[in-house]
Structure 1
């Protein structure tokens, strides 16, 4: 499956707040605009990894960082994909749901293998050409065990855990997972006991699952059928302020050559240049609707190095200057409010 958008749930920020790490600290460390952190809950792979690396840099030791964050997450503040696992029938059902719904939130995927008395879960990355922050790898595997512990209400332990990179304090990791931890392995995986997977979840909610399951399954089907043009424009919107919106960068994000990308867009009746113009236009309107942003900030956020270039482009799109467009837009919003009052 190709990389699409990555959603950062509110629970992630809630967990960081518990650890006394503010979003602005993450934004500063990751060298991203604060609006990317606080408003755009969907980010590109590169931005996602930079956010996690920023957290790792701020927290210090990788092992301590992943353990603290795994323990701090609040289930209620996570999206339906996580709620569906937390309220599953048992641990096995929860893990299978997690592996299925992970398809909707790349860049990682889970491969579950049953081997006699044990069950191994391999963590794989869709974007294999990019370096994954160790703290993200560790937190993802820790979350799988944390899910079982919270769901069953029992202090479950793993049989073994393997990491392909250095993970900091290994003794702290072994104390958390309750098993030997191997570093510099060939893969990232956690091995669980089959007997634990049959443990019922005290958080099981049949009625909620009957509501969530068909909705999530439909969302997964819809995402699979999403057009390439939609995916390209989404990546563009999330990459404009970072300056990596050239065709090669977007093609790499989708794991295809730039020639293949151009050809497939032509087959869909559009082009890379047209989509870039649409993405910039749509984002410009969105940002201008926010009166707290200065015009020069809007220009930067949609990838223009100077304000004059943005002004010329916006006149072509709307037949007006950004300032006049904003004034008219805000006036249209205020008039109904005034009449209502």
Structure 2
């Protein structure tokens, strides 16, 4: 299908040149015509994987290929979807943006989970019968860590890394990730320390985000046929603790006027106020299951400066206090 085709970003070939690898050598080794470089046409997932494997072979193996590319690749070569993550508010915002915009790249997707003191990012192939080569899995996970390092300006270390495939130089990978690396695992996963997600990005650029986000969101929405209410809820979820909960701010991110946004939400049978309430309710339940957060923190994370206002809202949603709801949840699901 057309949606399965992948267009190589021009920056990839520039990155190979910076490493001393001629792009035409990679294309030839992959058994593909040179037009993939000169014309940048869309390729199939199988061809996409062949190019990555060819690069791995030319770079001296997966580990070397992974480390070389993510460290040498210049930020200016990032495509717009990645540039938007680099200029995010903080590491958490960047990772959520990356998880969202990865949907624009057919062969892979990212599943991000925050639990306890950890944040785990699982790499999944959209075609399970055709998993990507080790170098692609490794580069994807390494780039997520590199993103945090460049954005924060701090030498962030992962908590653990798992690869489903064997890797040729685990020691080199452990030195790069700053943590144990396990091979032959059930899935490809990067686990971070959750506290690192709160680190602000020194590369934060609000003006650039306001230009890029509406364009990227429209592209993604067209590709996934995502509804406006779902998009609004996604924006609200990543904005709860940092303000920006008014309809004007959200409409601006979508490249719409607040009246147009409200009209489109009305057409979908909902309203901005209702979506904000839904997001606060859903996030409150999720945060209350986390033993590391006290109720005052939960109130702040879902956008309430006044703890009493949060208590009243939660009682309205659940017919119970946050503390009692949490106790009953833990009794049914004891924290590990």
- Normalised to the residue count of structure 1, the TM-score between the two structures is 0.64
Give the secondary structure class of the aligned counterpart of 1:162: strand
Q: Given the alignment of the two structures, is residue 120 of structure 1 paired with residue 120 of structure 2, yes or no?
A: yes
Contact 1:138–1:167 under 8 Å retained in 2: no
CA deviations over 1:93-123 (Å, ceiling 9, x no partner): 0000000011111210000011111100000
CA deviations over 1:28-67 (Å, ceiling 9, x no partner): 1001110123212422101100100110111122111100
Counterpart mapping for 1:106-255 below 5 A: 106-225=106-225
Contact 2:15–2:72 under 8 Å retained in 1: yes
Q: Higher RCO, 1 or 2 (CA under 8 Å, sep at least 6)?
A: 1
CA deviations over 1:110-138 (Å, ceiling 9, x no partner): 00011111100000000111142110110
* In 2: Cα distance, 1:52 partner to 1:37 partner: 14
Q: How many residues align?
A: 226
CA deviations over 1:254-273 (Å, ceiling 9, x no partner): xxxxxxxxxxxxxxxxxxxx
Counterpart mapping for 1:267-306 below 5 A: none
* In 2: Cα distance, 1:102 partner to 1:79 partner: 12
**Distance apart, 1:161 and its partner CA:** 0.2
Give the secondary structure class of the aligned counterpart of 2:143: helix
**Distance apart, 1:10 and its partner CA:** 1.7
Report the equivalent of 1:99. 99
Contact 2:163–2:189 under 8 Å retained in 1: yes
Report the equivalent of 1:20. 20
* In 1: Cα distance, 2:179 partner to 2:128 partner: 28
Most deviating of 128-137 and 94-103: 128-137
Contact 1:3–1:126 under 8 Å retained in 2: no
* In 2: Cα distance, 1:19 partner to 1:38 partner: 19
CA deviations over 1:224-276 (Å, ceiling 9, x no partner): 249xxxxxxxxxxxxxxxxxxxxxxxxxxxxxxxxxxxxxxxxxxxxxxxxxx
Contact 2:122–2:189 under 8 Å retained in 1: yes
Deviating beyond 2 angstroms after TM superposition, the runs of 4 or more aligned structure 1 residues are: 1-5
* In 2: Cα distance, 1:127 partner to 1:191 partner: 23
Distance change (3 Å), C-alpha of 1:131 and 1:111: closer
* In 2: Cα distance, 1:53 partner to 1:34 partner: 16
* In 1: Cα distance, 2:201 partner to 2:124 partner: 26
Contact 2:87–2:204 under 8 Å retained in 1: yes
* In 2: Cα distance, 1:166 partner to 1:80 partner: 32
* In 2: Cα distance, 1:38 partner to 1:127 partner: 28
For structure 1, the 5+ residue unaligned runs are 227-341
Contact 1:160–1:191 under 8 Å retained in 2: yes
CA RMSD in angstroms, aligned pairs only: 1.6
Contact 1:2–1:126 under 8 Å retained in 2: no
For structure 2, the 5+ residue unaligned runs are 227-336
